[in-house]
Amino acid sequence: MDFKLAALKLTVAQLKEAIPHHSPASSFTLGNGGVLFQRAWLQGLLVSNDINNATNSPPRFLLDDGTGIVELVSINNQFSQANWQNGMYVMVVGTYVDRSDKHELPLIRIHKLVDLSAFPDREAMWYLEVIEAYRMFYVPFIEE
């Protein structure tokens, strides 16, 4: 993992357009319009969770950000202790995993998962943050 690459603020629709890109700094990186990233930062509503599954496997969630659905997988059981409920508005940062079958949902391995439900304005602000980040940081890099 190359931590010099920022976690990009993205929508699920943008994540689906990411293209595999190999760099010497890591074994797998993605290019989205020429901007390299390994980790994505998304926000949206939890629409499914199997935190109470019968097996002892790490929890899995589905997140809907209004542009699409992404599957979230915990890399360990650290997120199984919280009371994650469908309908919560959350922020997630994690490693994007490219799937060879493009009909499958995009997959994020969770590094950080935060409940933002107590801040109802966060959802409206999120889309503005993504647009601002795209215009300020990604477009200038793409146009070079």
Q: Which CATH architecture has domain 8-143?
A: Beta Barrel (2.40)
Q: Is 12 a residue whose pLDDT tops 60?
A: yes
The residues facing 80 across adjacent strands are none
Higher pLDDT, 86 or 24: 86
For residues 67 and 105, give the distance between their C-alpha atoms in angstroms, rounded to a whole number: 12
The residue ranking higher by pLDDT, 77 or 89, is: 89
Structural contact between residues 36 and 30, judged by C-beta atoms closer than 8 angstroms: yes
Phi, psi of 20, deg, nearest 5: -60, 140
- Residues 17-69 pLDDT 10s: 887 776 644 434 555 556 778 889 999 999 987 755 556 666 789 999 999 99
Note the pLDDT tens digit of each residue in 128-140. 999 898 888 777 6
pLDDT of residue 50: 73
Q: Is the pLDDT of residue 72 over 60?
A: yes
* Residue among 100, 99, 113 at smallest CA distance from 63: 113
Q: What's the pLDDT at 124? A: 87
Q: d(Cα 130, Cα 133) in Å, to the nearest integer?
A: 5
Q: What is the mean pLDDT of the chain?
A: 80
**Higher pLDDT among residues 12 and 82, named by residue:** 12
Q: Residue 113 forms beta bridges with which residues?
A: 92
* pLDDT over threshold 80, residue 116: yes
Residue 15 has pLDDT above 80, yes or no: yes
Helix (H) or strand (E) holding 122: helix 122-133
